[in-house]
Copies of this chain bind each other. A is one copy, B any other.
Amino acid sequence: MRAVFHQTLEDVQGRLVEIADLVAVAMDKATRAFSSSDVGLAEEVIAEDHIIDEKCLDLDELTIEILARQQPVARDLRIVVAALRMSASLERMGDIAEHIAQLTRMRFPERAIPKGLKGTFRKMGELDVEVARRLADLLRTQDLSIADDIRNGDDALDELHLSVFEKVLSDSWRGEAAATVDATLASRYHERFADHAVSVAKKVIYLATGEWEVPTDAVPVVVDPTITRD
């Protein structure tokens, strides 16, 4: 029974890794499409999001089946319940990649990235892709030191998110209201994506150590009061 159960858990882990890989690919495409106004690439992300959604649903069904058939207890039970929650976070990360692709498509043939923020959003995109890749690595290897990379990426994204607001609220900002709206939404999507990754990483750590990682110092609130939430 234990051997069967551990094989099942490996299946769960394998699926989480697979979904995280797909999320990383989606975010890579979405942020490249966003920075280069590549509407074809954006369409691809939008068309493919259902694959992530379906894999998450399949994983949820598997976890419910495991609960019903194998009736795990103690730590095994917590692993299965955590998988349900990680799947919800990963599904949401896929949605956010899709949102960024949708912004790109909506503005096409104009650029979705407001003038003066190109470098910032390129950096945010790179960080999000790196965070998603490291999350897949963490799920694959269970090497907890990787969680630090994810946390650092999230911190860097929080700072860039603040810098977007500093920019649009500065005297030098010449953007129209549409550019301000785009910058606000896009920045929030990029920042939330990494929050979800941190949330998954915390669950991995919790399962391995029984402890929630101590949160790093909260970033001071400048404009968006919600950036330290996950």
- Chain A contact residues, CB within 8 Å of chain B: 64, 67-68, 71, 73-74, 77-78, 81, 84-85, 88, 95, 99, 102-103, 105-106, 165, 168-169, 173, 175, 177-178, 180-181, 184-185, 188, 221, 223-226, 229
Contact call B178/A177, Cβ cutoff below 8 A: no
- Flag if B103 contacts A225 (CB, 8 Å): yes
Answer whether A229 and B95 are a contact pair too, CB < 8 Å, given A81-B67, A180-B181, A180-B184: yes
CB distance from A37 to the nearest CB of B (A): 15
- Can you pick out 30 interface pairs between chain A and chain B where the beta carbons lie within 8 Å of each other? A64-B77, A64-B81, A67-B67, A67-B81, A68-B74, A68-B77, A81-B84, A84-B84, A84-B85, A85-B88, A95-B226, A95-B229, A99-B225, A99-B226, A99-B229, A105-B225, A106-B223, A106-B225, A168-B181, A177-B177, A177-B180, A178-B223, A180-B180, A180-B181, A181-B184, A181-B223, A184-B184, A185-B188, A185-B224, A188-B188
| Closest chain B CB from A219 CB (angstroms) | 14
A220 to B77, CA, bound (A): 43
The 9 closest A-B pairs by CB, nearest first: A102-B225, A180-B180, A71-B71, A184-B184, A68-B73, A99-B226, A168-B177, A177-B180, A181-B184
Copies in the complex: 2
> What is the predominant secondary structure among interface residues of chain A facing chain B?
helix
Q: Using Cβ atoms and an 8 Å threshold, which residues of chain B touch A223?
A: 106, 178, 181
Choose from B177, B184, B225 the contact partner of A175 (Cβ within 8 Å).
Answer: B177
- Additional pairs, 5, CB under 8 Å, beyond known A169-B178, A173-B177, A175-B177: A64-B81, A81-B84, A102-B221, A181-B223, A184-B184
- Contact partners of A102 in chain B: CB under 8 A: 221, 225-226
Residues of B within 8 A of A77 (CB): 64, 67-68
Cα distance A45–B158 in the bound complex, in angstroms: 24
Chain B residues within an 8 Å CB radius of A226: 95, 99, 102
Q: CA of A88 to CA of B77 in the docked complex: distance in angstroms?
A: 18
Chain B residues whose C-beta falls within 8 Å of the C-beta of A221 in the assembled complex: 102, 106
- Shortest C-beta distance, A44 to chain B (Å), equals 16
